[in-house]
Amino acid sequence: MKYILFISIFFFTTVAHAQTYPLSQMDAVYLATLKAVLDYKMKDDENLENLQKLREDPQFNQKLQKMLDKLNNNKHKTGTNKRVYELLKTNGKKIYNELN
């Protein structure tokens, strides 16, 4: 009986570790988690009405576009791009760890 319990625990531990991601993919895991949770929360009834108002606000849309123009995916390791990327990654990691 002890051996069956030991083998079962060993098997489940091995399976759990097999589902981890390599370090090279962790940034993508955090960003994907952040996006999925953000998409989910944007459909929340409490936020839906205010988000719709913002989508229809031309002044907000212009300001948002100016902010996005400061970003560039081709040079993500400099200045603003790097700081924004680190914020996204850090917060994605916090959410991933909270929900995992």
Token pair 């002890």: residue: 2
Question: Domain ranges in the chain?
Answer: 23-99
Tokens of 42: 């944007």
Identity of the amino acid at 85: Y
pLDDT for the residue 73: 82
C-alpha 91: how far from chain center? 7
pTM for this model (two decimals) = 0.71
| C-alpha span between 89 and 96 (Å, rounded) | 10
Q: What is the DSSP string of 40-73?
A: HHHTSHHHHHHHHHHHT-HHHHHHHHHHHHT--G
Query: Using one digit for the tens of pLDDT, what is the confidence trace for 71-88?
Result: 888 866 778 888 999 999
Angle between helices 23-42 and 45-55 (to 10 degrees): 90
pLDDT for the residue 64: 95
Q: How many residues does the chain have?
A: 100
Query: Using one digit for the tens of pLDDT, what is the confidence trace for 19-65?
Result: 688 988 999 999 999 999 999 999 998 889 999 999 999 999 999 99
